[in-house]
């Protein structure tokens, strides 16, 4: 069931399922933003004894746009405020694609709140930051390259899928009138050095997940995050970028095995 709460004037829409230790699911920027894409994954994870939240970040789905009234990183702060509102003292974070960068940022800024982080198909923050230097077309180009590199379908299906994907991206950017682009710039650029350049200083346990059909841009990101001292990297056979859609059972299996071996004393 879809729920909503308000953080001041900011409406956040989310789905909640299960009981136990909180697990917050942070979606990516493109096709993974629809909550329905994460509900099967949420259901399987909840059965393992977790209270799982699928959150629509500000400006995505039915959540309202960020206000941009100051120079704050409203996207990242909204996740922490969401946890505060629901009195979630400590929680796990799962971040898919760009959502993984938000998870890392929360882990660096609020390590006392985070039990562990799962990074699924997350790009290098340096690549993403570079797109912010050349404006919105840069991010669209990045997304286009990432999508094209994994499309190995017959031409008729290729062009159909490409057309639909481009339509979603351009509709998103131009209907939002640049608000989301500015919010994203603040998210990636604010405290960049302290958060990402010195990522080796991170002390939280981190699981890095990647599909065998992933594109080169994301594979480069996995290599970057392996610099985290307490990180473990796993490959999911047959999965592409949207692992939570392609292989939710395999995804949950890797997460629970990692928790049992690396993190269990902290969450039982």
Residues 252 and 45: their CA atoms lie apart, in Å, by: 6
pLDDT band at 129 (very low <50, low <70, confident <90, very high): confident
Separation between Cα atoms, residue 2 and residue 13, nearest integer Å: 7
Q: What is the pLDDT of residues 14-42, one digit of tens each?
A: 999 999 999 999 998 754 446 667 889 99
Q: How would you class 181 by CB atoms within 10 Å of its CB: exposed for 0-12, middle for 13-18, buried for 19 or more?
A: middle
pLDDT tens-place string over residues 54-92: 999 998 888 888 877 777 788 899 999 999 999 999 999
Query: Is 219's pLDDT higher than 70?
Result: yes
Tell me the per-residue pLDDT of 133-188, one tens digit each, with 9 for 90 and over: 665 565 566 556 555 555 554 555 555 555 555 555 555 554 555 677 777 777 77
What is the reported pLDDT for 61? 81
Between 155 and 191, residue with greater pLDDT: 191
The pLDDT assigned to 32 comes to 45
pLDDT the model gives residue 85: 97
What is the chain's length? Answer: 268
Strands across the sheet containing 50-56: 2-7, 10-17, 50-56, 21-26, 91-96, 114-120, 206-211, 231-236
Distance, in Å, from the CA atom of 217 to the CA atom of 28, rounded to the nearest integer, reads 15
What percent of the chain is modeled with pLDDT above 90? Answer: 45
Q: Which of 101-105, 141-145, 174-178, 225-229 has the lowest mean pLDDT?
A: 174-178
The domain 2-125+183-267 is placed in CATH, from the list 3.90.1150.10, 3.30.70.270, 2.60.120.10, 3.40.50.1820, at: 3.40.50.1820
Average pLDDT of the chain to the nearest whole number: 82
What torsion do the CA atoms of 146, 151, 152, 156 make, to the nearest 10 degrees? Answer: -150
Distance CA 96, CA 125 (A): 13
Domain boundaries, the chain: 2-125+183-267
State the Cα–Cα distance between residues 23 and 54, nearest whole angstrom: 9
Residue 172, SS3 per DSSP: helix
pLDDT confidence of residue 174 = 47
In this predicted structure, what is the pLDDT of residue 124?
83
Q: Which residue has the higher pLDDT, 201 or 140?
A: 201
């Amino acid at each position: 069931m879809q729920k909503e709460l308000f953080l001041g004037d900011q409406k956040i829409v989310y789905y909640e399922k299960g009981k136990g230790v909180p697990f917050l699911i942070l979606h990516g920027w493109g096709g993974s933003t629809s909550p329905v894409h994460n509900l099967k994954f949420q259901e399987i994870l909840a059965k393992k004894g977790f209270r799982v939240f699928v959150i629509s970040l500000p400006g995505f789905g039915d959540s309202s746009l960020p206000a941009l009234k100051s120079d704050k990183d409203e996207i990242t702060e909204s996740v922490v405020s969401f946890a505060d509102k629901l009195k979630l003292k400590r929680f796990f974070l799962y971040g898919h694609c760009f959502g993984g960068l938000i998870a890392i940022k929360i882990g660096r800024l609020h390590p006392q709140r985070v039990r562990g982080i799962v990074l699924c198909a997350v790009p290098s923050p340096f690549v993403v930051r570079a797109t912010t230097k050349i404006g919105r077309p840069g991010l669209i180009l990045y997304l286009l390259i990432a999508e094209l590199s994994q499309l190995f379908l017959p031409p008729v299906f290729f062009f159909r899928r490409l057309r639909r994907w481009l339509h979603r991206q351009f509709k998103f950017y131009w209907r939002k009138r640049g608000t989301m682009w500015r919010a994203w710039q603040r998210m990636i650029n604010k405290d960049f050095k302290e958060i990402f350049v010195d990522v080796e200083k991170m002390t939280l346990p981190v699981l890095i997940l990647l599909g065998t059909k992933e594109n080169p841009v994301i594979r480069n990101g996995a290599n970057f995050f392996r610099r985290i001292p307490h990180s473990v990297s796993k490959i999911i056979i047959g999965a592409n970028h949207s692992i939570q859609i392609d292989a939710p059972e395999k995804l949950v299996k890797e997460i629970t095995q990692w928790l049992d071996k690396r993190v269990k004393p902290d969450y039982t």
